[in-house]
Structures are given as structure tokens and as C-alpha cells.
Amino acid sequence: MKILTFTSKHFLKLCFAFWVFGISQSIAVAIRDNSLDNFLSWRLTQYYVNYFDFGFVKRGLLGTLLYPIFHTIGGNKPLAVAMIILLDFAIVFGGLALIKIAFDRESRFGTTLKDVIKCLIVFSPVGIMQLSYDAGRFDHVNMILVMASLVLMLKGHNVLAGVLLGLGVLVHEAVFVFGLPVLLAIGVATNKHKPIFNIAGALLKPAVIPSVCAISVAILGNSDVSFAAALPPGFDRGSMVWQRGLLEPATNLSLIQYAVLAFYALTPCVFLTHFYRSNALRLDLVFFATLSTFALFALGTDYARWCQLILFSNLIVVVFHSMSGKSDLKTTSRMLNFLFILYALPLGPIGVDSVLPYVDVFSRRVLGF
């Protein structure tokens, strides 16, 4: 398809255009209301929670590292919002630039495979639009850490990979669910023909540090500190995250909303299965390790993020197999092509209360229902 070639050729330019599109509705609402009260309101708290003011709390690492910046900014909300967006933009596009460089240089990735991945990142509601709609999420940092950990493991630096994953747990503990299982399965796969002690070592080296961090966060990370007393006024809206329980499935969505979420959650698994078949691979432990990401749907209500992390964990598996041997995709299946078109339709990002908020706005304001 010509659209795949065009997207691949203009990848970063298109990413920027759809990044702007993904954040546009939030900016429009802030301009309409002449207020930043609802713009990044939950995420502002994250960057002010740190180990200096609150002790060892979960998700406190980035706030600690950025403490000099946000301590200086104080309660200046416009400046804080601008800083968060700029930081997130740098993280996201730094990662995308690295993907482009790797794809352009690495011959083991088939042309069709590279073009399909780039197309999904640009157009799919769980691609770049979701990243900008969710600007400031800690998941974006952890995606970079997981990708770096994969590279380190493929080069035999399992301990360093474990250090990065441990940092990821301290950034946001969800990495323990969507990133670590896949990387551990990759550790087993790369050592499957070696003695059992080598396999055990391949598991322990990257697992020990993140496991210790996860246990520490589970025991000590939920703080009873009064955030309102230490945070600038209006910056504590997301503080309830530190007192939440583990299980919090949403039960207030309609059947259509559940169906849309199920489509974006399950379709990457179909794509990954097709990738395995295209390259004559047997379904292995690495494939099944991606299913651990589905546990996030029981642990939190941010379903849009979980749909994106499912796609991300599956892409990590694709990258692993591609780096282990040349791979590509077959595009002869009409059903798979149709499914790909649906998944890549640029309908805007996925939300939480409104699953496809841009579609909802269009249907209400333009179509009148």
C-alpha cells in the first residue's frame, strides 16, 4: 500500500502532526475555559511528589530527579504545565528518533514490517496520539527504559538491564507487569540451549533489582502523608493515587465502550500471532509473556493506557525476534489487512470516561447526536 511507503518516508513529520492532533482537544478546552485547572491536573501531582518531602513513596523517582526544577517553579501552574509537556515531548520524540534510526540501519527488519509498525505509531488511536493525549505519563519514560533494557539483554548485559528495570519500578510500578515478564521470557529464550544454571542466571540478573524495588514499593510506597500540606495549592488533585487499593475495575462503561476497548486490547495479539506465522515461529514463552499486561485491566481503570502498553509489549517481542533473525510480514490475508485498517484508523486517542473522545465530540457537535 502506498500509504505505508509514504508514512515510512515522512515518519517523524507525521508523528509531530498527529502528536499535535492528540493534545489539541485538551489545549482547546483550556483555552475555552481560560484555565489550566483540568489540563494535566492529575499528572501535575506526580512531578511534585519526591523522596525529599514525602520519604520513600511509590512513583517518586522522577519527582526526586526533577526536584530542583519543580521546586524552583513552585506553584506557577502555566510554567509547570509547559515544563511537563516539553519533557514528555523530548522523551517521546527521542524514542521515536531512535526507532527510526534503528529501522533505517537494521537490515534484519523486513521492509513491510518496518512500514506497518511506523504506520501504527502514526495513525492508530493507541499510537502517537495516545502519547500526546496522555502527555506527562510516567509510562512514556518506562517505555524508553524497557527498550534500553532489551538492547542491553541482547548484548549480554543482564545486570545493567535489571538496574534500568528497577529504576522503572520506582518511576511507575506498572513496568513490573508489562515490561519485566516479557524481558525475563526473552532471557530464557536466548539461553534455552544452555545448562539450567545459565538459564537461572539469565533470569536472576535482570529480575532481582526490580523485584526488590517492587516489594519495597508495595510495603512502603503508599504514603499517609498529607500531600496538601506540602504541595502547592491546586497541585494535589492526583494525590489519591498514593492511597488507592490494588483492584479497581471500572463497571460504569457501556457495552459499546467495552467492545471498543476489547478491540484495541486484543487486536495486537492477533497481529503478533500473524507475525509468528509469517516467520514460521512457534508460539513460545515470549509470546505468552505479553499476556501479563492484561493484568493491568484488573489493577487500574486507565484502560486506554493498558491498550497502548499491550501494543508496546507485543512490539518488544517483534523487535526481539527480528534482532535474532531476519523477519517480515505477509500481507496476503484480506481479513488481517481489514483488521489492520480498522486498528490504524486515525479516530483520535482513547480516553477513559469517553473511550473515543474525538469521535464523541464530532458526533455531538457536527452530527448532532
Kindly state the average pLDDT of the residues 35-49: 85
What is the spatial distance between Cα 310 and Cα 290, in angstroms, rounded to a whole number?
A: 7
Instruction: Decide if pLDDT at 366 tops 90.
Output: no
pLDDT higher than threshold 90 for residue 43: no
Q: Which residue has the higher pLDDT, 363 or 64?
A: 64
Q: Domain-by-domain residue ranges, the chain?
A: 2-365
| Contact partners, residue 42, CB within 8 Å, separation at least 6 | 237, 238, 241
346 has a pLDDT exceeding 90: yes
Write out pLDDT tens, residues 240-286: 777 666 566 666 778 888 899 999 999 999 999 999 999 999 999 99
Is the confidence at residue 361, as pLDDT, over 90? no
SS3 of residue 109 by DSSP:
strand
pLDDT in tens, 209-243: 999 999 998 888 766 667 777 788 878 777 777 76
* Percentage of the chain lying above the pLDDT 90 cut: 57
Tell me which H or E stretch contains 30: helix 11-33
Q: Tell me which residue of 41, 61, 56, 80 sits closest to 225, measured CA to CA.
A: 56
The pLDDT of 160-177, averaged and rounded, is: 94
